[in-house]
Structures are given as structure tokens and as C-alpha cells.
Amino acid sequence: MPRPQNQIIRLLPPAARKQLLDHCEPFDLVLSAELSALGKPLAYAHFPNEGFLSLVIHVDSHPPLEVGMVGVESMLGSELVLGAAATPWRALVQGEGSSWRISAAELRAQSDAIPALQKLLQSCVLVRLHQQALASACQRYHAIAPRLARWLLMSQDRSRTEIFHVTQEFLALMLGVRRVGVTEAASRFQDVGLIAYHRGELTVLNRAAMEEQACSCYAADKKIHSRLMAARNQGGAK
């Protein structure tokens, strides 16, 4: 059995972790795969071990917009603990990797059977609510370049790689802006040596400098996760 890398699973006490994993199966996260469809019941929950997912919403005839990310720090499907089934977003694999997959019904059953898991899932829901509220304000008030820096840092945190295979069209969709704005911001980052970009392959060359360019929401997002999950560290394996 692969060693679990997902942080939610690692926070569980050893016995609870084993009980949960006995009901999970390894699952490959294939680039661009859709793990949840808009408005349809969620069949499976996922605990990513590597790679990451984008939560994307559609409003009227507008292009899709990213409203959240899920990587090793969290999981997809925490809302199931509240009894919710249908999701208001699509979950798309943006960084390939692997996850632990569990059926929605089995997750609910294990949540009832494992109090520590239930508390962690509730915390995940709370973190997502706070982070999505922050993301809404970020999109409204912050300029494209700082938001692009934030997105690249968030993606790197979850994918654990310096290289991304992305197009400028994709970045524009994720940020909800016109492509020309992303082109200008990316060109500026490339000119000062923060990134290298060629034929859809983007490499972060200077992470420290990128953090200085990112809007304050990057640090705020990490603080939200750290603060709301901190109480769940007690009893988890180190």
C-alpha cells in the first residue's frame, strides 16, 4: 500500500488512519479529468497525495472561473459530511498525480464511525468557505500581476514542482481576465527573471521574488488554513 502523503489523512491517529484507508483505493489523477460535475451528486471523495485539482464555476455564458484549489493539504468532498451531494462547481485535475478515493456513501459512514475524521472534514469545509470568500475579494480588488503570482505559488505548493504545463489562455480563464492581461504580466515576470515561459511550459525561477510580487491574499490564504486546521494536529502522526 502506498505511503499516504495527504495531510488530512496524516493528521488522523494511526488506528483511525488505517480504518479509513481500508475503505479507500488508489486512484490516478489524470490531467484534465473531471472528478465532479456541476450540479450532480458527488460519487467519490478524493484525498490527493500528489497533484492538484481546480474548482471551477460557470456563470451564464461567461467563461469558467477558478474559485478554489485542492491539493495534498486538503481533500475533495468534505461537504459530504454536511449531507450535501450536488456540487456548485466542477473539479478538474490541473496537476496530474494520485489520490486516495472513497465512495460518498462510505465516506459518510466512516465519518460517523471516526470522530477525528468528522472533525477534520468539518474543518476542511470551514477552510474552504473562508478561502473562497478571500478569493472573491482578491478577484475584485487586486491587479492581474499579483494575482498571477499568487496562482503560480499556490499551484507550486500543491504540485511540488517548479515547472507547469499551462497556456496563457488557461491562465486567463483561471484568473477570470483577458488573455492580454496575463500576457503582459507573464512577460514582466519573465523580463525580470522570475519565470521562464516557452511553448506552454512555465518554470518558476525565483520563488522568493515571486512571493514578493504576490498579493497579500497568498499569505492570508496560508494563514487561514494553518489557523483553522491547527486544532486538529493533536493526536495525528508526525
Using CA atoms, how far apart are residues 231 and 127, in angstroms rounded to an integer? 13
In this predicted structure, the answer to whether residue 231 has a pLDDT above a threshold of 80 is: no
Higher-confidence residue: 232 or 114? 114
Average pLDDT over residues 96-120: 95
Please indicate whether residue 5 or residue 111 has the higher confidence score (pLDDT).
Answer: 111
**Could you count the other beta carbons within 10 Å of the beta carbon of residue 83?**
7
Return the higher-pLDDT residue of 66 and 149. Answer: 149
User: With pLDDT > 90 as the criterion, what percentage of the chain qualifies?
Assistant: 58
Taking alpha carbons only, the member of 180, 185, 53, 196 closest to residue 128 is: 53
Q: Which domains does the chain have, with CATH numbers?
A: 7-139 (2.60.120.10), 143-214 (1.10.10.10)
For residues 21 and 167, the model is more confident at 21
Q: Is the pTM of this model over 0.85?
A: yes
